[in-house]
Structure 1
Amino acid sequence: MKKLFKLPQFLRLTLAVLTALVFQNCAQENIKQTTDETLNMTDYIRANPDYSMFLEILNITKYASFMNTYGTYTMFLPTNEAVKQYLKDVGATSLSQVPLVDLQNIAKLHILDKKINTTDFTDGKIVTPSMQGQYLITGAANINGVTYNTINKSSSILASNVEVGNGIIHVIDKVLRVADKTLAQTIEADPNLSLFTEVMKATGWYEKLNQPITFDENNIGSYLTVLAQSNEVFAQAGFTTLDDLKAKYSLSGDPMEPTNGLNLFVQYHVLPNLNYLADLVTTPVFETQAPLEVISSKLIGQMIYLNRDVFAGVLEEGVSIVRDASDITCSNGVLHYVDGHFAIKKRVPLPVYWDLCNQPEFAANTSNYRKAGGVAFGYGAAGFSEITWTGNQTYNVSWQPQPLGWNGDQLSIFRLRPGSGGLQNVTFTTPVIIKGRYKIWVSYRTNGSASTQVKAFFNGVQLSRLINLREAANPISGTSYVPDRVLESQGYKRPMYPFASTAINSRLLGIVEVETTGRHKFTLHSDLDGGEAWFDIVEFRPVDMDQIWPKFKAGLAGAGGLVNREDAPKDN
């Protein structure tokens, strides 16, 4: 120590400064590096006593720590008053009296594994299911002059879009209840459906609609959708008893037999899979449980019509969905009500206008898919349920905004070519196509680096004509202009109206005989090297139908729109 004090003054000063810096650096090691103090979900709930009872549910079910981890979740958070009402409804005085499995199902029903803002709500199901597996239904209700967003038709959102560190919270005024009744039980519980219940029991369909969900090897559930007719609807059609219906449809044989007319009547009211109103709006044709029989669906204004079609120049009005009463989630499916009586009719082929961007995985990206300002995104082969290919499985098939395309978008295949450097044999699952004879057209956007020889296959059978993706559409003016009908005879057409660019072309691929009503396979294949390939619409037009009209409206503003010949001032 004596030696230290004998050092020159400037050296002692230098040593002091260095010592201070060392201590300062050590102290800085303990300072939190992030300035983000946003609470995650569990901590947010913990900090707000108004939600302490739902926090208790999370603690009992062991989900509290899980909901405090990193992620992008959505939680529908019930208030304490909502949880108290739930306890009263189930006859319990505390959460400890509620079976653990019930609390687990409730906790999972209130959580989605994706961030969903109220701006992503539509009047129907939320595209992402809850962690419990059931879908939540959004809507709107006017209460005392105030409009609230609603969930599952029973709960109102009191506070929305509360940002937390791992997602978003919507505060609700009622605990959401898991749908634990089957379709059969739900239908039987409604006295307005008593005759429909009798018909189900007489045909053996009550038992079929009372089965729990099973899953196949592809993890696809045995969900069903029922289109139910009320007693009033039956009465309007002249049926008040089961015997009335038997006299009309069960002319011979046992109603329990699948080929019996009354049994087929019920089969025609049952659709495979979960089909909420949102699905009925976007899909034009649905399979039914009746073999080779389908139901068409069409949105006109705010009404969803079933089997509203023109046959031989005559409009069949069809029946409409009773929207307010429909979208009833059951443990094994979804229930809808219709406002009219309907039964199987002989169907002729109907046109199918298939936008290739109508993929469920694309639609799930609600931030970009068909949104103004949406940016392109895509997935590898593992990301799709209805698209497969050979070649590089990590390369993307993408959704891209395209104002010149129908619905304002285009589907992009990255490098449609053979080998590991591209995608080949890109196979899509079509919408439902009614059996019959069709001409198949494909619309695409011209790309100067794409393949010049793309083959198309329907159910594995090659179609007669190739696609040159570098070939532009015929212009509407100038010396090279060809009239619509002449162009059609050459196997081409200008698909969009009005025609504003040569970027979108349409090529006739050939004629096919669709032997069974249902979904089929459509494949695009190239043996030549090529760059990015951009596709828009695949059309299945009955051979005896006009192949040019209607044409398609381009862009988001005309989403899903068609232009008929009588509405167009000129051919192009």
Structure 2
Amino acid sequence: MPGCKKGYDKYWSNENPKTGFIYDKVKADTSFSIFAAGLERAGLVKFVNVTGLYTVFAPTNTAFRQFFQAKAYSTIADVPVDDLFAMLSYHIANNMWYYYDFSTRFATTQKTAYITRNNKFLNIDVSVADRFTVNGIAVIKSLQDMDAENGVIHGIGEVLIPLPNAEQVLSKDAALAGNVFYQLMQNLASKQYDRFNSYDADRDGKIDSVFYTTYPLLQNVNTSLEYIPNSAPESQGGDPVFTTFLIPDNTVMNTLLAPVLPGFENDIKKLPRLYVQALLESYFIKDSIILSDELMARPRALMAINGELVPALTADKLVLADKRASNGVVHVLNTTFPVPDKLKSAIGTIMTNPEFTDFVEAIQSANLTVAYTATSKAATFLAPTNAAFEAAGINVRKKTLNGVQLTDAQFINIVKQHVISSNLARTALTGSKNTDYASNPLVFTTANNVVSVKSGSGITAEVGTEYRGATGVTNGYVYRVEQVLMPASY
């Protein structure tokens, strides 16, 4: 346990009496009276005045007065309570860490990141003997290693100001106001309850829920989360996680979307999720903080989250460079990247066709995107129109049939019934063809130059307009059908 290595005799001696929890000790020390008042106002007393193990970096009164002057505040009461809660939570690290413990951990693991109670990270530097800094701010020698019953307090001469996370930068930074790229991201956004940052803000005795934003379809893109759990002892419960954001500016994004938006009432919110996902994936680099120098010099290959190469950039392509967030870095570009492979695929050709939004959404909801948009996959898709799904009583978002909930397996089987794993030109649509839903073939017939398809349940539809992937892409055909080809069983 961190702290135990300090030395049994020294820890349990009376040279620093441990009577009282952290808040009690802070409040009793006149050097920290403003910090104590801040903990009270932010509702954080209950988090540091309970049994547990904590390390608190306590700014002195002088540090707070300097902070007030810089921010044009007069007293701690002037600081907005939400800002105060976030800021002071950043001064509380998990577990009990004396200088000795920081030094021992660094010597054995070279790790300098320490997770705080609001799941951000402090950088503790003890790499040189007798140097003890947090985020570059020196710990005051005479105020370090102050014992409490539930942890340790280190006095510091400046207030720690956490960087905003990427979500806050993208949504609130003035330089990114009205960003079309971020508006597109909201098509893929989901909200999760944040138990670490929810608190009784209005003092009515009830916790005011706070939610953070995630983007489940943008794999490994973290805008709000700043850590990934890690149970290894040396990782202190979690490791930092970073994302590099390469955001085309509004001019180039509007040009890119101009041919697509009219089909969706010029409303970004109505664009299909699969199209938005495919479009955006090229502009994120996971697990990294890639600064502009590396984007231009390119000493190594950089891959986007879709596995495609990030093109080299020149200085004239960077409108805004190196906008730091606590969990990444944002760059704004005046260019776009090549069309991603997903949009070159056969399914990619119908992603922006408003008649097929339900079929595209069905592929997404069935978790078949990767398989069915791979340009190396041979496939023939019988794509029902939106009207066909409505007539069949299928809600692809809710995965219901005539109001009855389908299991995931049932829904996937219905989608797979419309896919044949081979490239079939119209002339090859003859006889019985096995679908991706095993033992449920489709039967094709031709009469008077009209090709029809029949499912195992007896549903027959005319095979209509043909769509192909981009030139040079060989992953098949999409044919329009006006019926959902329900299997005999699913």
After TM superposition, the score normalised by the length of structure 1 is 0.34
Q: Which has the higher helix share?
A: 2
Q: Which has the higher strand share?
A: 1
